């Protein structure tokens, strides 16, 4: 790899999370959803040229002697690739990257794009975790979001994934949708629980600038859900999933607990919150190896053009300052329910945590927003609703 910090061990590598993660961004979707601002194109004729470029990018970054214990196909919609294209990328990853034997290999799937045969194939080639973009089991909500699939497609794909042999199934759901009342959201959660997924991500709908939903809001086609209502739905989510035997391990993420074992957290996503090193491949993908962060051009044409010349398609890189790293360690640490590991934080930054943040933390504690003990600092359930403002209070 051309960008390097000189091969020094990563500042943020810890004994519990020493390995690399690999993210592959597949920038295609059958149709753009109304709320989506991820980089993806709907011209599927560009898939093969993209795959050819991706294989070149993988070959260029492979000189790193790093072990990876996660490989994550996200997007976009990875499942719009053909079986052959997915297999070629998987083979290249196996050939070029040192994947550990127990590597978590995840692929995101849109329910409107796969068949039983496709899912069987995914499993056969070594993908061992599937993340299904269900979003909702309500026809009206799926229509509002502009999804290509129906509730029936979603339930069918979950069942087909089980039949294909996936024993690590994650479902994505969205709440806080205009017009969605508490009982509709409860129904979504209860329907999801029928399938006993190993993992659930429950995201609050975010209306991003430039999306179709943003235009609709500006033209007053709908009123965004009130903040208090969203807070109520968030609390309902925590309660229902806790009662069903799931641990919330990050603001939006829940993992099933089996016989007291917390075995189903997303190993890959935890890397983002714990500053483990990761490499992002594909247009717009970000990579991180403390203190260096870099990201690829967000354009398939420019991406392929750079690779055709034998260059990595990096748009920009930055060396994060200690101040940036501290902010991120607090921002990301407080997203997780394990919170900030105070001893680790102090060792990394040579800061006395209590001396630096003690006064603010005392006030936050009195407001029931944080829990602090000798080893960790985490948000309370109530605090999670105010994550951004709490971080701003800690780091003005
Ligand atoms: S399928 Fe996913 S990536 Fe594609 S447009 Fe919809 S939300 Fe965005």
- pLDDT tens sequence across 102-146: 999 999 999 999 999 999 999 999 999 999 999 999 999 999 999
- The CA 109 to ligand 1 mean position distance, Å, reads 10
Contact 55, 92 (CB under 8 A): yes
**Whole-Å CA distances, 380 to 236, 272, 358, 387:** 15, 21, 17, 10
Domain termination site, one of 209, 239, 273: 273
What distance in Å separates the CA atoms of residue 219 and residue 101, rounded to the nearest whole number?
52
Ligand 1 atom with minimal separation from the 31 CA: 5
Question: For ligand 1, atom 5, which residue shows the shortest CA distance?
Answer: 32
pLDDT at 18: 58
Q: Looking up tokens 């006993």, which residue turns up?
A: 196
- Cα-based torsion angle of the residue sequence 183, 188, 191, 197 in order, rounded to the nearest 10 degrees: -140
Whether residue 240 is found in the same domain as residue 110: yes
What distance in Å separates the CA atoms of residue 104 and residue 206, rounded to the nearest whole number?
28
CATH of the domain at 349: 1.10.10.920
Question: For ligand 1, atom 8, which residue shows the shortest CA distance?
Answer: 36
pLDDT at 102: 95
Give pTM, 2 decimals. Answer: 0.93
Residue 176 phi/psi, 5-degree rounding, is: 85, 25
How many domains is the chain partitioned into structurally?
A: 2
Which class for 185: exposed (0-12), middle (13-18), buried (19 or more C-beta within 10 A)?
buried
pLDDT at 64: 57
- pLDDT tens sequence across 216-267: 999 999 999 999 999 999 999 999 999 999 999 999 999 999 998 888 999 9
Whether residue 268 is found in the same domain as residue 326: no
- The CA 81 to ligand 1 mean position distance, Å, reads 14
Choose among 76, 136, 142, 83: nearest CA to 109: 76
Q: Looking up tokens 């208090």, which residue turns up?
A: 228
Domain termination site, one of 243, 273, 303: 273
Whether residue 27 is found in the same domain as residue 89: yes
Range of the domain at 374: 322-394
DSSP E strand boundaries for the chain: 20-26, 67-75, 98-109, 129-135, 169-175, 199-204, 246-250, 253-256, 278-281, 286-289, 292-296, 314-319, 340-341, 370-372, 376-379
Q: Which residues contact 333 (CB under 8 A, 6 or more apart)?
A: 273, 339, 340, 341, 345, 377
pLDDT at 262: 85
Q: Give residue 283's pLDDT band: very low, low, confident or very high (50, 70, 90).
A: very high
């Amino acid at each position: 790899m051309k960008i390097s910090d000189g091969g020094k061990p990563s500042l943020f590598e810890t004994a519990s999370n020493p390995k690399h993660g690999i993210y592959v961004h597949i920038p295609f979707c059958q149709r753009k959803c109304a709320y989506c601002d991820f980089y993806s194109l709907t011209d599927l004729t560009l898939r093969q040229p993209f795959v050819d470029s991706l294989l070149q990018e993988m070959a260029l970054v492979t000189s790193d002697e790093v072990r990876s214990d996660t490989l994550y196909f996200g997007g976009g919609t990875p499942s719009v690739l053909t079986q052959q294209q997915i297999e070629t990328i998987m083979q290249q990853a196996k050939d070029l990257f040192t994947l550990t034997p127990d590597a978590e290999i995840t692929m995101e799937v849109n329910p409107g794009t796969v068949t039983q045969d496709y899912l069987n194939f995914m499993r056969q080639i070594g993908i061992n975790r599937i993340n299904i973009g269900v979003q909702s089991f309500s026809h009206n909500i799926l229509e509002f979001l502009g999804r290509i699939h129906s509730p029936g497609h979603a339930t069918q794909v979950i069942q087909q994934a089980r039949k294909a042999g996936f024993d690590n199934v994650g479902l994505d759901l969205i709440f806080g949708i205009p017009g969605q009342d508490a009982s509709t959201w409860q129904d979504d959660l209860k329907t999801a629980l029928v399938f006993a997924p190993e993992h659930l991500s429950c995201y609050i709908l975010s209306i991003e600038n430039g999306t179709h939903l943003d235009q609709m809001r500006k033209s007053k086609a709908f009123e965004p859900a009130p903040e208090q209502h969203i807070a109520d739905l968030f609390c309902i989510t925590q309660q229902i999933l806790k009662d069903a035997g799931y641990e919330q391990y990050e603001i939006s993420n829940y993992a099933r607990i089996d016989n007291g074992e917390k075995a189903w957290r997303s190993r890959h996503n935890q890397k983002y919150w714990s500053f483990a090193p990761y490499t992002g491949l594909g247009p717009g993908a970000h990579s991180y190896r403390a203190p260096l962060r870099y990201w690829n051009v967000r354009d398939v044409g420019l991406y392929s053009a750079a690779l055709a010349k034998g260059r990595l398609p990096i748009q920009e890189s930055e060396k994060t300052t200690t101040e940036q790293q501290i902010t991120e360690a607090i921002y990301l640490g407080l997203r997780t329910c394990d919170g900030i590991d105070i001893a680790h934080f102090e060792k990394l930054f040579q800061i006395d945590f209590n001396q630096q943040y003690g006064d603010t933390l005392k006030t936050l504690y009195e407001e029931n927003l944080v829990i602090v003990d000798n080893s960790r600092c985490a948000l309370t359930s109530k605090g999670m609703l105010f994550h951004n403002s709490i971080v701003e209070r800690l780091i003005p």
